[in-house]
Amino acid sequence: MSLPIAELVPPHIRAFEAYVPSKPDPELMRAYKVDHLHRLNNNENALGPPPAAARILAGFETPRASIYPSGDCYTLRQALGERFGKDPERFLVGNGSCEVIASVIKAFCDKGDNIVTADKTFAVYEWVAEFSGFQARLIPLKDYGYDDMGMLRAMDGRTKILFVCNPNNPTGTWWDRDRMERFLRVVDGRAIVVLDEAYREYVDDERFPDGMELMERHPNVVVFRTFSKMYALAGLRVGYVCGQKEVVDYIRRTHIVYSVNILGQPAAAAALMDDAEHIPATRAMVARAKELLLPAFDELGLEHVSGAGNFVMVRTPVSDSLIYRQLMRRGVMVRTMTGFRFPNWIRVSLVQEPVMRDFLTAFRDVIALSRSDGQP
Amino acid sequence: MPASHPQSLMVELPPDVAFLPAAAAAAENAAQVFGLDRSGALKLALAVEEFFSYLCRYAGREEPLRLTLSHGGTFVRMAFRFRAGEVSLRALNFAASVDVEGGGDSAHEEHDAELGLLVASRTTDRCSLESSGAGVYVLLAEVDRQYPEAEPLRSEQVLSGPVRVANPDGAPASEGQLRHAALLAAGRYPARSCPASFHRPARFADMVAYGQYHALLASDAAGRPAGLICWRGSGPRSVVFSGPYVFDANPDHTLAKETARLLTERFLAAVARTEPVCAFSERPTADVPEGWFESLGTLTLRGLTAEGDEGGEPETQAALFRHLREDVGGAVWAHPDMVPFLERQYDRLAFSRDILTTEERPIQRAPEHSLLATSFDRRRGLAILRPLLDGQDFAANLAAHVAALEEQAPEGQPGGAMPDILLHLDLSEPWQAALYPAISACGFQPRLILPHAGSSDLLVCQHVPANR
Ligand SMILES: Cc1ncc(COP(=O)(O)O)c(C=O)c1O
């Protein structure tokens, strides 16, 4: 018999899967009996934050921990405004960009509304929509990229938000300016278009459409960015949304204040101001990692997919979760892709060369094992 | 089709036989609203009466008995929630026989009550007991709606490409398509690879309509059914799938392989972002694409090889598995005698598990009577036992179950092959792990582990008859 508590819960929540974060590293190391663990599962930037941000962290005076932070990230928004040449009121900062995903959905969706996104992309758009009781229309990727025509066809009068992950996690594909412009013209302001640019700082290509510029001509465009990826502040949880003032004003009504901590705010602002060397250094690290990994995957005869972003996907001859467990036993943590609807693929974050070499040694081992008897 | 009626009825009854007519009337009424025919409704009402009068006598008296009658789609379920009190539910055992020789008056009364319970459990289609917190139990019984059996379809069709599987967001398969596909699968695949409902295709279609099963259908360029895969939840942590079934006369046909791969991929995409953490199958078909699942081990089953065939050559059957996300590890309970087997298996599978050992059980403290759940699929000649309650008589009770099952010949085959007997131990329960020596002494051997299939992992043991 169900507990009375369960009877209080609406059906869409009962049916919903709670996201189960992985266990802390020491727990995992104990469970898999290893003395080190390379984290290649979350696309973190292994270089660490830019020096100015690192100094803020090192110089943090502990008594300040007892003080509330700015409730609306006042200083950080000033920095963002300055950096992008926009009114600071047009930025809304959250506890990671995941938090602003929820704020946007709450602001625009009502009972019976839907959102449109891809089937094989970052899961949070779909999750937040569904546990809030809104339908998520999931359009299959086409050639590993978002299918613009498919998304447009799926739109109807109740579609409030189109989520485009540009570049896409986990395939690294992105729409160029022309394709984005065409898409926005057809949407024609009928729905909010969210461009999740979590990995945009990894793209070094002038054909990449800049959401910050698009929103000036298309007021329904909203851009998400994060300090978790390129800026290497994932542990402090800072992300933001930017859009036209009117749009952001609506989102603010559903947004939680005081959700960004007192250390994250100045660290993010400092990181933003000190990225001139950090970004090229990170890109170089990623490029070098790709030079190592991609030929090795080819040599092993394994299909792989990568584009923009600090990650690659590789197709495994056996179940991705089996490869995960075998790699864990060798001190390497990757992401299984079944949850991204890419069964038998893993995603590997691109980091410094020595770690990539360790990964390759372990990976070759595991693949050889899987080929010797059909399973390790 | 799912009705617009409320799907359940709940009644709180004081534990007093004076309310027997109220319980029976509620059962009969609900049974009819929920689609049972006259005889089904009577069976359910009878079970409710017998359970109610038994619980009035033996359950805890401090709270009312809560009866829930619910529409399960293809069946109607009754559930009594009660506090344990002095209940002995041994009469719910498949092998229960009630001793007719009574002692004094009170023994006589007890005998009558147990007989009633036995009758009730035999007239329903399934009956089980679940524990719902300390000292609180839920006694469940289900009566199935009746569906006609249909002849499987044997077709020599060769598929023509491209093969398509409807989008998850697209229109669900129609009842007619599901029935057709079930009969094609039943015609092409041995009974052991098919859910029993394929032979009652209207039941299968209803199970899908009511969400007891999920199904994906493939169709070929000519719009003909090309394949089927179906699955259902098994506990909160796993899904069990059957198939993929491919309707092509030539299983080596590239398009047949493509169909199987497409169905498997779509199935995984459909469950990937849901609550279960793993998918497995105890009856995979030969069409499961290579490299997509891990073998948990094999079972050698004597049962039927095809419908109507008498148990032919023993067949080995692989149990397949895959996680749907990263394994975060966990802990299981084990009797020291089980540890070598578990360590070997977990190591082979590269599973991280803490094995916690538990010694002999304190038999004096166990209640007098144990309870085992039995599910018995006559068509497949396969019985699965699960310990529900520990008791001092566990070893004897288990032996009685084995003996009773070995007397059960497959449907329509009196004197035919003996059924295969498996026993599932839930390794999250130390008391179950502690039963291992008794289980082993009764002739069961550990065969494989089903990860996450119970509250944690399940250990599957198989009975090995002494004369083999
Ligand atoms: C596409 C995408 N958007 C958003 C996020 C979330 O980032 P944050 O740490 O800012 O919540 C991620 C993180 O993995 C991501 O991949």
Q: Ligand 1 centroid vs B328 CA: distance in angstroms? A: 22
- Does residue A256 have a pLDDT over 80? yes
Closest CA to B335 of B234, B236, B462, B441: B441
Give the pTM: 0.86
How many angstroms separate the first and last alpha carbons of chain A? 42
Cβ–Cβ < 8 Å for B30, B69: yes
> What topology does CATH give the domain B327-468?
Aminopeptidase (3.40.630)
- Does residue B245 have a pLDDT over 90? yes
- What pLDDT, in 10s, does the model give residues B86-108? 666 776 776 666 544 444 455 56
- What pLDDT, in 10s, does the model give residues B428-449? 888 999 999 999 999 999 999 9
- Does residue B54 have a pLDDT over 90? no
Structural class in CATH, domain B164-294: alpha beta
* C-alpha to C-alpha distance for B450 and A287, rounded to whole angstroms: 42
Among A76-80, B364-368, B423-427, whose mean pLDDT is lowest?
B364-368
Whether B327-468 and B1-145 are alike in CATH topology: the answer is no
Atom of ligand 1 nearest to the CA of A168: 1
For A126, nearest residue in chain B (alpha carbons): B273
For B264, nearest residue in chain A (alpha carbons): A343
**Mean pLDDT across A284-294:** 98
User: Measured between CB atoms, does B254 come within 8 Å of chain A?
Assistant: no
CB-based contact B352 A328, cutoff 8 Å:
yes
| C-alpha distance from B136 to closest chain A C-alpha (Å) | 10
**pLDDT confidence of residue B109:** 61
Q: Hey, what long-range contacts does A76-81 have (CB within 8 A, 24 or more apart)? A: A76/A238, A76/A260, A76/A265, A76/A266, A76/A268, A76/A269, A79/A268, A79/A269, A79/A272, A79/A273, A80/A240, A80/A242, A80/A272
- Does residue A250 have a pLDDT over 50? yes
* H or E stretch at B228: strand B225-234
**Residue nearest atom 2 of ligand 1, based on CA coordinates:** A198
Name the band, by pLDDT with cuts 50, 70 and 90, for residue B169: low
* H or E stretch at B382: strand B382-389
* C-alpha to C-alpha distance for B151 and A213, rounded to whole angstroms: 66
Instruction: Compute the mean pLDDT over every residue in chain A, rounded to the nearest whole number.
Output: 93
**pLDDT confidence of residue B313:** 64
* C-alpha to C-alpha distance for B438 and B426, rounded to whole angstroms: 15
User: Measured between CB atoms, does B268 come within 8 Å of chain A?
Assistant: yes
**pLDDT confidence of residue B100:** 41
Within 8 A by CB and 6+ apart from B258, the residues are B161, B163
* C-alpha to C-alpha distance for A125 and A98, rounded to whole angstroms: 9
Closest CA to B444 of B424, B464, B458, B425: B464
Domain boundaries, chain B: 1-145, 164-294, 327-468
Please report the DSSP string for B178-204 in residue order: HHHHHHHHHHHS-GGGS-GGGGSHHHH
Cβ–Cβ < 8 Å for B348, B294: no
Q: Ligand 1 centroid vs B152 CA: distance in angstroms? A: 51
CB-based contact A339 B273, cutoff 8 Å:
yes
| Mutation choice for ligand 1 from A39, A42, A97, CB with most ligand atoms inside 8 A | A97
Helix, strand counts (H, E) of chain A:
15, 12
Name the band, by pLDDT with cuts 50, 70 and 90, for residue A197: very high
* C-alpha to C-alpha distance for A5 and B148, rounded to whole angstroms: 40
Query: Of residues B342 and B329, which shows the higher confidence score?
Result: B342
Residue type, A291: E
Q: Which residues of A touch B275 (CB under 8 A)?
A: 15-18
CB-based contact B322 A319, cutoff 8 Å:
yes
The residues lining ligand 1, judged by C-beta closer than 6 Å to any ligand atom, are A 43, 96-98, 122, 165, 169, 196, 198, 226, 228, 234, 239
Cβ–Cβ < 8 Å for B227, B211: no
- Domain B1-145: CATH superfamily is Histidine kinase-like ATPase, C-terminal domain (3.30.565.10)
CA dist B226 → B158, B189, B340 (Å): 9, 14, 45
CB-based contact B169 A23, cutoff 8 Å:
no
- Does residue B312 have a pLDDT over 80? no
- What pLDDT, in 10s, does the model give residues B206-224? 999 988 899 999 999 988 8
Query: Of residues B125 and B31, which shows the higher confidence score?
Result: B31
CB-based contact B167 A140, cutoff 8 Å:
yes
* C-alpha to C-alpha distance for B376 and B370, rounded to whole angstroms: 19
- Does residue B372 have a pLDDT over 90? no
The rounded Cα A345 to chain-centroid distance in angstroms is 18
Query: Of residues B441 and B305, which shows the higher confidence score?
Result: B441
Q: Which residues of A touch B274 (CB under 8 A)?
A: 17
* C-alpha to C-alpha distance for A5 and A26, rounded to whole angstroms: 34
State the number of CA atoms in the 13 A half-sphere of A234 facing the CB: 13
**pLDDT confidence of residue B179:** 95
Name the band, by pLDDT with cuts 50, 70 and 90, for residue B329: confident
**pLDDT confidence of residue B125:** 84
ipTM computed for the complex: 0.82
* All domains in chain A, ordered by first residue: 5-48+277-372 (3.90.1150.10), 51-272 (3.40.640.10)
Name the band, by pLDDT with cuts 50, 70 and 90, for residue A376: very low
Query: Of residues A302 and B103, which shows the higher confidence score?
Result: A302
Instruction: Compute the mean pLDDT over every residue in chain B, rounded to the nearest whole number.
Output: 84
- What pLDDT, in 10s, does the model give residues A7-44? 566 666 655 555 556 788 898 998 899 999 999 999 99
* β-bridge pairing B444-450 and A135-139: unpaired
Name the band, by pLDDT with cuts 50, 70 and 90, for residue B416: low
**DSSP three-state, residue B447:** strand
Burial (CB count within 10 angstroms: exposed 0-12, middle 13-18, buried 19+), residue B232:
middle
**Mean pLDDT across B185-196:** 90
> Which one of A141, A323, A326, A338 makes the best mutation probe of the B interface by having the most chain B beta carbons within 10 Å?
A338
**DSSP three-state, residue B315:** strand
- What pLDDT, in 10s, does the model give residues A140-155? 999 999 999 999 999 9
CA A180, A182, A187, A189 dihedral sign is positive
H-helix segments, B278-360: 339-349
* C-alpha to C-alpha distance for B161 and B192, rounded to whole angstroms: 29
Residue type, B338: M
| Mutation choice for ligand 1 from A103, A146, A169, A195, CB with most ligand atoms inside 8 A | A169
Instruction: Return the ∠ at Cα A110 (arms to A108 and A112), rounded to 5°.
Output: 130
Name the band, by pLDDT with cuts 50, 70 and 90, for residue A6: low
Query: Of residues A4 and A112, which shows the higher confidence score?
Result: A112
Is the peptide bond between A21 and the residue preceding it cis, with omega within 30 degrees of 0?
no
Where b means 16+ CB within 10 Å and e means fewer, B109-132 reads: ebbebbbbbbebbebbeebbbeee
